[in-house]
Structure 1
Amino acid sequence: MNEKQGFSINGYIMALVLLPVAQLATVYWLLQSGGVAPAIAVIIITLLWCGFFMVQPNQGKVFTLFGSYVGTERNTGLRWTIPLFLRRTVSLRIRNFESAKMKVNDNQGNPIEIAAIIVWSVSDTAEAVFEVDDYESYVTIQSESAIRNMASSFPYDPRDDEEAEVALRSHPIEISSRLQQEIQDRLSRAGITVHEARISHLAYAQEIASAMLQRQQAAAIIAARSKIVEGAVGMVEMALAKLSEQQIVELDEERKAHMVSNLLVVLCGDKAAQPIINSGSLY
């Protein structure tokens, strides 16, 4: 069921011109001629005053007549419609909510905690009112279901899956786009538009948080050591090349190996080197 324009007219025209004139005319008719017909006309005109209603900005009024949907009015201000229409107010304003922190398993089986902020609004009042029982509850439940499904489709960290192109922690833009699309697919049947969906909380579950922290620290240390060794090898190579180029000292292969060993110890060590001065011969 899609939204359609409901019947209503400007309420100020009805309140200031049409209904007062009709009311006075029927009362005059009743006083002049009497009878049942003028009395019925007076009652009908009086009941027409019940057709006034107010539409606030970013708000819609859904009209139903004896259980049938007859339209929606979005024009703001004082409006008038047929008094028999039942009118239900639906907010069209942008709303947001933050989901609860949920514990799920990523695609590697690691338990994680995740929560997200969803920004949404009603775009089709007919679908929001008639396609689901309670569209606000529907948004909450379906959004949390989409968050769980999305979290279980990606690894928490890219180091967990080298073949994965996207990870929850390292690709926030891609994850937000995927989450928004998945939530939109679920809520479109209820006339809901999702404007934004972003993760507000992401962490390993408490039972594995300490172990994962140690693993991350170990990986960081290994990466740092790799950079240090790479730089040290380049410095040793440069030192040997400079010594040979400028003919400062002639070293055989054994002494070169000994020098390389000493330089690597100095450059790669995590503590300051303690030099030993040789006051004798070169060897």
Structure 2
Amino acid sequence: MECDVDRIEPLVVRANRSASRLIHNEATTEIPVHLLFRDDPPPEGRRDAVPGPVPAVAGPAVVSSRRGTGEQPRFRRRVPAPASARPAARTADRGLRERPARVLPAAAGVLAGACGAAGCALTSWWAGALPPLAVRALGLPVVVDAGLGLPQWTAYAGAGALGLLGFGGLARGRTGRALVLGSHGRYRGTVRGAGLMWLNPLAPRRRIDVRLRHWRSEPMPAADADGIALRAAVLVVWRVRDTARAALGIDDHEAYLRECVEAALARVPVGAPGGGRGSAEETGERLTRLVAREVGPVGLEVFSVRPARVEYVPEVADAMHRRGIEALDARRRVGALTSVFDSVEDTVTRLTTRGLVDLDASAREVLVRDLAAAFCAGRRETAQ
């Protein structure tokens, strides 16, 4: 044993000395800088590669170190898979959408009401409250001095509640009208059918018109492409497509539609009065697209928004009227001068062509001036 100890001690000392030399030796292998920032996985066939497939979960992934370089293991964050690659979540659509309500035939309500009425009548016979003649007519024995006790009052309450639920739940659906039902603050469904049916009498109901509707607005502020203030009245063709969103998504869907139309008129330039049919059609298409996009999320469907009447505001109407009169007068003057010049040219051409007069340049100018003055005077007298 002493020999073994003496043999082992030099080995331990030698190992410690070599370890100290590796730490303090200046010739230790340097780590390349580019290896510290490489995130690509090691190539296949390397012994230090991580075996097996990489788990497809979000979170940090371990990148193995490279042996012999002194590089430490690094963590690389996994990018979650796109939504299209993940399985679709089997969760119900929590958005507010129209769905049919549960209704019963009217016969069920009538039967329940009749049963309640019959129960009240039998309870009255049990309590002895019916006249003897009516009891004998029904073929029942006459009950004497039964009185109204707790059992009779309980039977009255049950039969009366059944009758009220049966007859109180009867409702009549109409074509073009829908009933939006709710219960305890929640949406329970929409009834679009027509005819007599039974609904929960305790559920609040709201009737909504789902027919195709035309609405002509009052004059609203607008502007043309040059920024001149206008007033436009539009004709909107629309209907309620989703009754749940229209009734419960906003307070008043008609007021919301009016506000959307007014906002669209403030954003879309409207053709000036007398701008032509093409500009009105283009403005209507732009208004229709904009309003339909705005009211779609609240369950409304807009088919067309067309300017029905466009006029200038009173502050601008007088100035535009004077401008229009001046433009008409200028066009009339230009037309009159053109007509006079054409008449003078035609007269001078005929005179010289037929050889009636032989004119030099100065005489021709004098003739033209005299004819123009004569034609203008004649047109002025005709106009007066």
Distance 1:265 1:136 in 2: 67
Q: CA–CA distance in 2 between the matches of 1:170 and 1:205?
A: 23
Structure 2 partner of 1:257: 365
Task: Say whether the 8 Å CA contact 1:101–1:201 is kept in structure 2.
Answer: no
Choose the corresponding residue for 2:173, options 55, 77, 80. 55
Corresponding position: 1:8 with 2:103: yes
Q: Aligned match of 1:237 in 324, 327, 345?
A: 345
CA positional deviation for 1:58 = 1.8
Moved more, 124-133 or 248-257: 248-257
Larger radius of gyration: 2
Which residue of structure 2 aligns with residue 182 of structure 1? 290
Q: Which has the higher contact order (CA 8 A, sep 6+)?
A: 1
**Which amino acid counterpart does residue 272 of structure 2 have in structure 1?**
Y
Which consecutive unaligned segments of at least 5 residues does structure 1 have? 159-166, 274-283
Aligned to 2:334: 226
CA displacement, residues 113-170 of structure 1 (integer Å, 9 cap, x when unaligned): 44445454323212211222221221222222222223xx246368xxxxxxxx5999
- Seen in structure 2, the aligned counterparts of structure 1 residues 223 and 260 have a Cα distance that, compared at 3 Å, is same
Shift of 1:65: 3.5
Structure 2 matches for 1:76-155, cutoff 5 A? 76-93=194-211, 94=213, 96-102=215-221, 105-150=223-268, 153-154=269-270
In the alignment, what sits opposite 1:280? Answer: none
Letter in 2 for 1:68: R
Inter-CA distance 79–262: structure 2 relative to 1 (3 Å threshold):
farther
Unaligned stretches of 5+ in structure 2? Answer: 1-95, 127-150
How many Å separate the matches in 1 of 2:113 and 2:261? Answer: 51
- Number of the residue aligned with 1:272: 381
CA distance in 2, matches of 1:109, 1:24: 72
> How many equivalent residue pairs?
255
Task: Verify the 8 A CA contact 2:223 2:270 in the aligned structure 1.
Answer: no
Greater alpha carbon shift after TM alignment, 50-59 vs 232-241: 232-241
**Residue 136 and residue 95 in structure 1: after superposition, are their counterparts in 2 closer, same or farther (change >3 A)?**
same
CA RMSD, 1 decimal: 3.9
Q: What displacement does 1:196 show?
A: 4.9
**Contact 2:98–2:189 (CA<8 Å) still a contact in 1?**
yes
Counterpart residue identity of residue 223, structure 1: R
Length-normalised TM-score, structure 2: 0.54
Please say if residues 51 and 81 of structure 1, whose CA atoms lie closer than 8 Å, have aligned partners that are also in contact. yes
Q: 1:99, 1:144 within 8 Å by CA — same for their partners in 2?
A: no
How far 1:75 sits from its partner (Å)? 1.6
Q: CA deviation at 1:187?
A: 2.1
